[in-house]
Amino acid sequence: MTKKETYITCYDGNIYEGMTSISAVIKKCEESEECQKINKVVVDRSKMQSKSRELDFLRRKADKLGFEICISTSDEINAITTGNTHGGIVALCSPTVIPFLAEKTDSIKGDGVYVMLDGIEDPYNFGYSVRSIYASGADGVILSPRNWMNVAGIVAKSSAGASELIDMYIASPEEAIGIFRDKGYKIICSGIRNSVSMYEADMKKPVFLIIGGEKRGISHSIMSMADTIARVEYGREFRGSLSAASAATIMAYEIFRQNKD
């Protein structure tokens, strides 16, 4: 049952905004024990009638997963969210814990696709990248060590919930390359110098793809460890570079295309 009004101006965990993100968290909690806890879902009092279907769904899941549903005001919800697309529903969850790849090597698929996003610092750009990588059918995302836990809600929102559905691990680029090479994976870096067109590169599974951020790209030392450096082809002369999210999308879907048959 929906409970009395609650005040939420201060919360130290992750805040997931909107039903797309919240549904992804619920799905993960139902399928895996390695999931953050949903402490409560907060609903805007003025939205309760228009969101009756969503509330029915949340009440069923609340009984199963053990979280409470509370009501609050628009001002209270807006004070802790990053935008106005939450639809009046947010979930307050415990902090996210992303495992280290070195501790989960047994979970790596023998014939899979994994993508490392190295040097992407903006959580929105990161989320957009994860959305495309997940949609392309990749099996997991590898992250360089940094504190992603405090922006998990933003990443979930910008990835349309994909960040909660795809496997994620933490490793340095050097460590990840060593682990995937030992598993028989091709190591492909996105880049321009000494590269081949991605349409000419062998991207048949198993593939470990590394995408660099816009500011500093992939270091020369990491590039030197790759089996192939593949570039995105442009339709005209262009001296700039695509966003990391755009590059990740194009490269991930070329891998999908080459492995479709």
Instruction: Show the beta-strand stretches assigned E in the chain.
Output: 14-17, 38-44, 68-72, 89-93, 113-118, 140-143, 167-170, 186-190, 196-197, 207-212, 228-231
Question: What's residue 12's pLDDT?
Answer: 55
Domains of the chain: 14-93 (3.30.1330.30), 101-258 (3.40.1280.10)
Reported confidence tier of residue 31, pLDDT bands at 50, 70, 90 = confident
The model's pTM is 0.86
**256 vs 102, 220, 249, CA distance in Å?**
26, 27, 10
Question: What's residue 10's pLDDT?
Answer: 41
Reported confidence tier of residue 87, pLDDT bands at 50, 70, 90 = confident
Other Cβ atoms less than 10 A from the Cβ of 71: the count is 18
**Between 240 and 204, whose confidence is greater?**
204
Question: What's residue 81's pLDDT?
Answer: 80
CB 134 within 8 A of CB 162: yes
With a cut of 70, say whether residue 69 has pLDDT above it. Answer: yes
- Per-residue DSSP letter, 117: E
For residue 100, list its beta bridge partners. Answer: 170
With a cut of 60, say whether residue 220 has pLDDT above it. Answer: yes
**Between 184 and 46, whose confidence is greater?**
184
For residue 140, list its beta bridge partners. Answer: 114, 167
Which pair of tokens denotes residue 39?
């402490």
Mean local confidence (pLDDT), 243-247: 90
With a cut of 50, say whether residue 38 has pLDDT above it. Answer: yes
Mean local confidence (pLDDT), 2-20: 62
Q: Nearest to residue 20, comparing CAs of 165, 223, 237? A: 165
Order of all β-strands in the sheet with 228-231: 167-170, 140-143, 113-118, 207-212, 186-190, 228-231, 196-197
10-14, 69-73, 131-135 — which is least confidently predicted?
Answer: 10-14
For residue 114, list its beta bridge partners. Answer: 140, 208
